[in-house]
Amino acid sequence: MKLSLGPILYFWPRDTVLDFYRRVADAPVDIVYLGEAVCSKRRALRPEDWIQIAEELEAAGKEAVLSTMTLIEAESELGVMRRISENARFTVEANDMGAINMLAGRARFVAGPNINTYNAGTLAMLAAAGARRWVLPVELDRNTLRALQAARPAGLETEVFAFGRLPLAFSARCFTARAHNLPKDECGFRCGDYADGMLLSSQEDKPFLVLNGIQTQSAETYNLVAELPEMKDLAVDVARISPQSSGTFEIINTFHAVIDGTLEPAAAPTRLAPHIPYGACNGHWYGQAGMNWIREVGAEAVFSAMGGLKRG
């Protein structure tokens, strides 16, 4: 099983991004997704910069993939998507059906996690259009994955989002700007003040969601490190880690140790706990509420949600 690093979903300073990918070049990841996938107003790096980073990572032995935006709202954003799609060198991760339409029949691509790949018919359509890999939507469970794997067209790889805050929704409205009583077009790039997004708590002061510009994420961190052996049994080709502002390289090393057999999967969640500020979750994998944290004990699943323990 290979290990991938998803695109940075937050607005980090240019120098921070460049330093981050210099470290990635030496990290034990096989695939690196690059580019702005959330908000086109974030222009600290230009398309040429992402191409240069991709070239440097390729020279370091990584597979570099350019990611497109998930929500296209303006002609300028369409132009950037077209420019990425028409690059003749690097594989593209399509996060919008418009990008798939641009790529169909002319380039091999990755169908990203924001494409609603829910059934065998969609898998067949993506493969026919030229997909080389698809990413399981984060809300789907292992039983659905098992069924899709059984129907997967030959030559199509499968990737699973295995660590990071879950991307739940995208909107035309910028929630970070709204939280500061600013209009979207005059946001002042307030999302740059939150290296891992802006926490939204419930009235009971419990972490609930994270606002990341136009993207809404889970407050809990999705963590499938203990489920890596099951993913292998399900013939998953790639496990994805989503970058965060601190601890990313320790997270990568932990996943790599489980994959290469030098760390027991059951011990891995404890090692990752310091890098999960608002608790872990894995409920979607087990077909339950996404915010739940579940550990299997024999034939049973023991899970906790909002501080309580239940047995199923």
pLDDT digits (tens, 9 = 90+) for 203-256: 999 999 999 999 999 999 999 999 999 999 999 999 999 999 999 999 999 999
Q: Is residue 203 part of a domain?
A: no
Q: How many CB atoms lie within 10 A of CB 66?
A: 24
pLDDT value, residue 309? 36
What CATH number is associated with residue 33? 3.20.20.70
In three-state form (DSSP H/G/I as H, E/B as E, the rest C), the secondary structure along the chain is CEEEECCCCCCCCHHHHHHHHHHHCCCCCCEEEECCCCCCCCCCCCHHHHHHHHHHHHHCCCEEEEECCCCCCCHHHHHHHHHHHCCCCCEEEECCHHHHHHHCCCCCEEECCCCCCCCHHHHHHHHHHCEEEEEECCCCCHHHHHHHHHCCCCCCEEEEEEEEEEEEEECCCCHHHHHCCCCHHHCCCHHHHCCCCEEEECCCCCEEEEEECCEEEEEEEEECHHHHHHHHHCCCCEEEECCCCCCHHHHHHHHHHHHCCCCCHHHHHHHHHHHCCCCEECHHHHCCCCCCEEEEECCEEEEEECCEEEEC
- pLDDT greater at residue 308 or residue 56: 56
Q: Which residues are annotated as a binding site?
A: 39, 174, 187, 191
Which of 62, 72, 2 is closest to 34 using CA atoms?
A: 62
User: For residue range 33-90, what is the model confidence (pLDDT) as tens digits?
Assistant: 999 999 988 989 998 999 999 999 999 999 999 999 998 888 888 898 999 999 989 9
Q: Is residue 83 part of a domain?
A: yes
Q: Which residues are annotated as a binding site for [4Fe-4S] cluster?
A: 39, 174, 187, 191
User: For residue range 179-208, what is the model confidence (pLDDT) as tens digits?
Assistant: 999 998 889 999 999 999 999 999 999 999
pLDDT value, residue 310? 36
Instruction: Answer yes or no: is pLDDT of 9 > 60.
Output: yes
Instruction: Answer yes or no: is pLDDT of 301 > 60.
Output: no
Q: Is residue 20 part of a domain?
A: yes
Q: Is residue 96 part of a domain?
A: yes
Mean pLDDT for the chain overall: 93
Q: Is residue 25 part of a domain?
A: yes
Most confident of 46-50, 105-109, 163-167, 293-297: 163-167
pLDDT value, residue 49? 95
pLDDT value, residue 295? 81
Q: What is the domain extent for residue 25? A: 2-168+221-276
Number of domains forming the structure of the chain: 1
In DSSP terms, 259 is beta-bridged to: none
Average pLDDT over residues 8-15: 97
pLDDT value, residue 297? 43
- pLDDT greater at residue 300 or residue 257: 257
Instruction: Answer yes or no: is pLDDT of 298 > 50.
Output: no
Phi, psi of 127 (to 5 degrees): -65, -40
